[in-house]
Amino acid sequence: MYVLIPLTVAVALFGMQLYSYRKFRNIITLFSVEDSLFSLLNQYFIGVNLKESLIFPTHFSQTPTIVMFAAPSCDTCHHEVERYLTHIKKKTTNLPFLCAVKQDDSDYQHFIDTFSGKITMVPVDKKTMSELQIINFPSLFIVDSQGIIRYVGRSVGELVDILKHKEKQELHNIQ
């Protein structure tokens, strides 16, 4: 009798542990699939020369630049621009930032009005977006001084961090 109760509790706890393991293993597998897809995107974009498709202002030709493709109706795009502006206000960066803005978006003019004078923006038409295969917004890149994509990022903060450290730039062949 004294052995039966602890044994029953132990079996129940083991069953719960096994159930949790299987449930979370599926979630972890999903995360690794997302990382794999992001890795594939990295491989596609690395080496693409954006200067062949976009007009870069002349002052962007000397240093690595953060380039963000944005859809004006994308809330995350607005947040990423705001994050960059926060970095500037806190003086944590003075890195060049170029926002390639999707022209055929219903909120295009509002986006331009909101961020005009704060960041450099270049309008991009649907055809150019299609040729570059930009389908997710925001799409964030670090391009070197020649306009070649050297790094695909997930957030402005990640890209700022890389550009603030020479050893990280060298790791990704950013010149």
Tell me which of 39 and 81 has the higher pLDDT. Answer: 81
Tokens of 158: 């990640």
* Rounded distance between C-alpha atoms, residue 39 and residue 82, angstroms: 26
**What is the overall mean pLDDT for the chain?**
82
Q: Supply the pLDDT for residue 36.
A: 45
Q: Supply the pLDDT for residue 1.
A: 61
- Percentage of residues in the chain with pLDDT exceeding 90? 36
* Rounded distance between C-alpha atoms, residue 145 and residue 138, angstroms: 22
pLDDT at 74 over 70: yes
pLDDT tens digits, 30-58: 454 444 444 555 567 888 899 998 888 87
Q: Mean pLDDT across the stretch 5-28? A: 69
pLDDT tens digits, 88-125: 888 766 788 999 999 988 889 999 999 999 999 999 99
Q: Supply the pLDDT for residue 16.
A: 74
Burial class (CB in 10 A: 0-12, 13-18, 19+), 41: middle
Q: Supply the pLDDT for residue 101.
A: 95
Tokens of 124: 């991009």
The half-sphere exposure of 22 on its side-chain side, counting CA atoms within 13 A, is 5
Q: 3-class DSSP state for residue 78?
A: helix
CA–CA distance from 101 to each of 35, 45, 86 (Å)? 26, 18, 20
Q: Out of 66-70, 152-156, 171-175, which region has the weakest mean confidence (pLDDT)?
A: 171-175
Is the Cβ–Cβ distance between 54 and 140 less than 8 Å? no
pLDDT at 26 over 70: no
Non-local (6+) Cβ contacts of 173 within 8 A are 144, 150
Beta strands in 87-148 (DSSP E): 97-102, 120-124, 139-143
Tokens of 100: 């390639």
Q: Mean pLDDT across the stretch 58-74? A: 87
